[in-house]
Chains A and B, each alone.
Chain A
Amino acid sequence: MTTFNITFKDLNKSFNQHLLFNIPELTIESGRCCLLSGINGSGKSTLLKIMAGLETPNNAEIYYKNIKLDWKSACKQIHKKIIYLHQTPLMFDASVADNIKYGMRKQGYSRNKIQESVKMALQWADLEHLKDNNARLLSGGEKQRVALARAYVLSPEILLFDEAFSNLDTQGRTRIFEQICKLKDEGVGIILTSHELAHNTSLTEHHMHLENTHLKIFSKENNIEHFNNIKTPELILVNA
């Protein structure tokens, strides 16, 4: 299995002359899970949105399959492979099933393929009983599952979860945690953000910390002590 990877070099972003971050080099790849931490306002969401091609960086060199791409053509690659999930997901004013169909419809999949995938995704996310409900009327946790299923049907290479565990109770967290594990086993790359400087050891191989415009990167291979010292309170619950 070839891994998908994309490298950003000299990535920087500022809002109104105020530098948010400046990252010399950053590679994201499929099949791995990475935690991105940083305090409120450090730029985690902005960084994820840039990775998903939703926000434009002030400067960036992008390498995909060892070829340097300009931002526009990189976006074309990114949009198909990397999906960003909002902290509080937005539901389109339509049924759960139609929400899940959205991406496949826009990308021109055949009717049969859509029907098949949606059925499978509804099952996967345990949403069959809600499939005809208006998605905007669901609870926060259910919306999160619809958002995940909506991304899952598109078989992305990388999923970017912005604060995947906030707004969820213990059961909801366990559920999302299990789904993330399954996704990872299927070879999907995952980046999770958290504003709590903490980390779960079983799920993630990398830890990135955004602080004062710098991004520190730790990997399990090289910084095992770092990994043993921090735990995410929210994930401890899951492991217990």
Chain B
Amino acid sequence: MDPTVIRTLLGDVLQLTGEHIILVGVSCSVAILIGVSAGILGTRHATVRRLSVTAASVLQTIPSLALFGFLLPIPYIGGIGRHTAMVALVLYSLLPILRNTIVGITSVSPPVREAAIAMGMTDPQILRLVELPLAAPTILAGIRIALVTNIGTAVIAAVIGGGGLGELIFRGVASVNTLEILAGAIPAAGLALLADAGMSLLERKIAPV
């Protein structure tokens, strides 16, 4: 095989892996910020809980490719390009994070919450000192699901110009080039496995109880 072809391909793999990581990293961070905040609010207000969970569930149900399609015609956030892909990935990652935040906080045992109230903790103190630490493993599990799914979904983002490893795969499929397909698929799978392992390590480290 031509060494220059290999070299170009290797360069592409490196660059696109970088793009992929940024795409996933930024969208996941935003999703964590929104998902955890909305989850906390949801445990305080039943209406917020109902609305946010419904919205996130609907978003999650839409097939990812279709979600990218829906976003394209929307002004400001839509159009071909990276930011549309980011928005779609954020929306797509919300549900597991939101749901696990709510479940984690509401499953703090009643006597524990009651004791926290009875000892004179304020609501923010209960959140910070009791609920979030106890819910942390559950929230992390939600983030793990979101992150791993996100790495897969980000592959599809290439169809709307999102960049990332999907570009190699789609290019390879179009030109029936197995090497190119693998050059995209293997790093993507590797990223997913790595993220999963990293999160499981973190989960184990943070769960003292």
Real binding pair: no
